[in-house]
Amino acid sequence: MLDCLTDAYQEQHRKGGRPRRLSMEEQLIMTLRYLRYYPTQRLLAFDFGVGVATVNMMRI
């Protein structure tokens, strides 16, 4: 699953852009954790050491 997500991300962002704040693995873990427990975005941001805006950009 992680390989499919990484390939899709690279295909979509092949022109470059800003580097990711979280690795693809961390993004997947964050999404699965959100779907399992439904924590607030603020709590996810605290747990992963990023801002709330970064969590919001994950579109979870």
Give 59's pLDDT tier (boundaries 50, 70, 90): low
What is the distance between the alpha carbons of residues 3 and 45, in angstroms, rounded to a whole number? Answer: 24
Parse the chain into domains and list their residue ranges.
Answer: 22-60
38-57 per-position pLDDT tens digit: 999 999 999 999 999 999 98
What is the distance between the alpha carbons of residues 42 and 39, in angstroms, rounded to a whole number? Answer: 8
Instruction: Return the higher-pLDDT residue of 11 and 41.
Output: 41
For the entire predicted model, the pTM comes to 0.76
Long-range contacts formed by 48-54: CB under 8 A, 24+ apart = 48/22, 50/21, 50/22, 54/21, 54/22
What is the distance between the alpha carbons of residues 43 and 40, in angstroms, rounded to a whole number? Answer: 5
Mean pLDDT, the chain, whole residue set: 87
Q: Which residue has the tokens 């580097």?
A: 19
The whole-number average pLDDT for the span 22-41 is 93
